[in-house]
């Protein structure tokens, strides 16, 4: 019989010589792995949902502006989308939709109330392919249609503050792109509740064609908002758009292409801080599992000191003893990891189907434009693989010291010791 087979059989028998200790170690590894997989899955699912809510409400995944617009956001930073650029964006299958926008500030006047507002001209048909604001209209109203002219939808908080409702008419006064005074009257056709306090308090949406006339834009827009079919394509598509504008000289030196991560650094910072907390928690769990294994192996070596002394005295090579102890650790670890992966994936799958409700924190998370309060788990192959490999590697590393200690025992002293 080959040495490897003998070592494996001896290790398997030794593992079950103390069933209580083995089961306790298995339980430690299983619970540790399951908790790591579950909490990482919840973090991944929560972050993905936050990003999707934030980009789906207003920003989209990518925006094209004239350089300087995002920092200043005044009516002066506008560009005219070339036919070449529009044709190029239309031909990219990775783009789910794109929509031009006109964005400026102004004063709203309704009855005896005047308020500062943010006015956004949108293409109703294309906007619905980029954002979800059309799904946020309160009962009794509607979203903008392609035939609308001097019609508008306003935020719910703004409507409450000025006591306006559907079919009311208000006036806006602002500056035109050519420096003239821009003023017009609009009829409210819908009121939205986006869940973002800033948007609900100050945002007004009007048709793009009417915004072009009201603000004398002459075909210029302030941004081209792009929604991707998959957020993981962000870097590649952003690079492609930049290279396209450079190759076609479509105003490449005057345009900036920004991803959602550049437009919402606060959300990125929140996710990074949350990830750091998650890494610390993972480290603690990994250490609990590793020291649990170390304790088990050390106790096993201590209890079997005389046995190892006898083995060494009859000519067993120290390398074989080391290999046997490491094999015992590997067997326990593999069983514990397998059970932990199954438990962690099962629990994560349950919370993927039944998301956790964070509605009690809706006001805090709405600061980032996040309206959804249900966060599902999202288990990835990377999460499972990293958890399994790290746990196994730590188990083997932490068992090396007691294994080498057993292999270096003095046979005579070991036999007399117990």
- Examine the pLDDT at 249 and tell me if it is beyond 90: no
Q: Report pLDDT for 209.
A: 93
| DSSP line for 147-213 | T-SSEEEEEHHHHHHHT--TT-EEEEEEE-TTSSEEEEEEEEEEEE--S-HHHHHHEEEEEHHHHHH
Q: What is the C-alpha separation between 38 and 388, in angstroms, rounded?
A: 13
Tell me what pLDDT residue 33 has.
Answer: 92
Residue scoring higher pLDDT (308 or 208):
208
By CB atoms closer than 10 A (0-12, 13-18, 19+), residue 115 is middle
pLDDT of 211 higher than 90: yes
Long-range contacts, 356-365 (Cβ 8 Å, 24+): 356/42, 362/195, 363/197, 365/50
Query: What is the rounded CA–CA span in Å between residue 357 and residue 192?
Result: 23
Q: How confident is the model at residue 53 (pLDDT cuts 50, 70, 90)?
A: confident
Q: What Å distances lie between residue 248 and 44, 84, 88, 220, 251, CA to CA?
A: 39, 8, 10, 19, 8
The pair of three-digit structure tokens given for residue 354, joined into one six-digit string = 């039944």
For residue 90 the two structure tokens come to 């239309």
Residue 108's region, left for phi above 0, alpha for psi from -120 to 50, else beta, is: beta
Residue 108: enclosing H or E segment and its boundaries? strand 95-110
Asked if the model's pLDDT at residue 267 lies above 90, the reply is no
User: What is the structure's pLDDT at 397?
Assistant: 92
371: pLDDT strictly greater than 60: no
Mean pLDDT lowest for which of 40-44, 111-115, 150-154, 374-378?
374-378
Question: What is the pTM (predicted TM-score) of this model?
Answer: 0.74
Per-residue pLDDT at 142 = 94
Neighbouring CB atoms inside 10 A of 396's CB total: 16
The mean-pLDDT minimum among 228-232, 243-247, 271-275, 375-379 falls in 243-247
Identify whether the C-beta of residue 218 lies closer than 8 Å to the C-beta of residue 81.
no
Residue 198's pLDDT band (boundaries 50, 70, 90)?
confident
User: What's the rounded Cα separation, in Å, for the pair 369 and 194?
Assistant: 8
pLDDT(190) > 70: yes
**In sequence order, what are the beta bridge partners of 119?**
104, 204
Contact 221, 104 (CB under 8 A): no
The percent of residues in the chain predicted with pLDDT above 90, rounded, is 36
Instruction: Choose the weakest-confidence range: 272-286, 311-325, 327-341, 356-370.
Output: 356-370
| Residue 108's pLDDT band (cuts 50, 70, 90) | very high
Alpha carbon distance 139, 282 (integer Å) = 46
Closest Cα to residue 404, out of 254, 276, 330, 297?
297
pLDDT of amino acid 226: 93
Beta carbons of 117 and 107 less than 8 angstroms apart? yes
What is the rounded distance in angstroms from the CA atom of residue 83 to the CA atom of residue 94? Answer: 19
Per-residue pLDDT at 271 exceeds 90: no
pLDDT digits (tens, 9 = 90+) for 295-324: 888 888 888 888 888 888 888 888 888 888
Cα separation of 348 and 346, whole Å?
A: 5
Say what the pLDDT of residue 141 is. Answer: 92
Is the pLDDT at 248 greater than 60? The verdict is: yes
């Amino acid at each position: 019989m080959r040495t490897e087979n003998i070592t494996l059989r001896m290790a398997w028998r030794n593992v079950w010589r103390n069933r209580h200790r083995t089961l306790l170690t298995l339980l430690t590894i299983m619970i540790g792995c399951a908790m790591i997989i579950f909490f990482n899955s919840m973090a991944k699912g929560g972050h993905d949902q936050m990003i999707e809510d934030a980009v789906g409400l207003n920003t989209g995944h990518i925006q094209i502006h004239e350089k300087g617009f995002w920092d200043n956001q005044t009516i002066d930073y506008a560009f005219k989308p070339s036919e070449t650029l529009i044709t190029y964006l239309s031909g990219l299958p990775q783009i789910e939709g794109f929509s031009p926008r006109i964005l400026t500030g102004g004063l709203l006047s309704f009855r005896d109330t005047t308020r500062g507002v943010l006015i956004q001209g949108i293409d109703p048909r294309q906007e619905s392919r980029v954002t979800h604001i059309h799904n946020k209209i309160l009962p009794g109203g509607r979203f903008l249609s392609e035939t609308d002219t001097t019609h508008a939808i306003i935020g719910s908080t703004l409507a409450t503050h000025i006591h306006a409702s559907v079919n009311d008419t208000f006036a806006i006064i602002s500056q035109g792109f050519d420096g003239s005074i821009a003023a017009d009257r609009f009829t409210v056709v819908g009121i939205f509740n986006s869940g973002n306090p800033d948007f609900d308090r100050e945002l007004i949406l009007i048709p793009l064609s009417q915004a072009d006339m009201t603000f004398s834009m002459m075909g210029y827009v302030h941004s081209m908002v792009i929604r991707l079919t998959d957020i993981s394509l962000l870097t590649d598509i952003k690079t492609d758009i930049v290279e396209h504008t450079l190759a076609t000289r479509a105003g490449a030196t005057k345009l900036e292409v920004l991803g959602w991560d550049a437009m919402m650094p606060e959300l990125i910072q929140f996710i990074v801080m949350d990830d750091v907390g998650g890494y610390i928690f993972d480290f603690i769990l990994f250490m609990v599992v590793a020291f649990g294994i170390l304790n088990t192996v050390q106790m096993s070596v201590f209890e079997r000191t005389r046995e190892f002394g006898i083995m060494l005295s009859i000519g067993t090579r120290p390398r074989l003893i080391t290999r046997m102890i490491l094999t015992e650790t590997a067997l326990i670890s593999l069983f514990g990891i397998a059970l932990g992966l199954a438990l962690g994936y099962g629990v994560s799958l349950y919370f993927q189907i039944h998301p956790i409700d964070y509605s009690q924190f809706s006001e805090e998370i709405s600061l980032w434009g996040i309206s959804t309060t249900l966060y599902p788990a999202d288990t990835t192959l990377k999460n499972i693989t990293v958890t399994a490999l790290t746990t196994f590697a730590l188990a083997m590393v932490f068992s090396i010291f007691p294994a080498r200690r057993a292999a270096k025992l003095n046979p005579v002293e070991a036999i007399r010791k117990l």
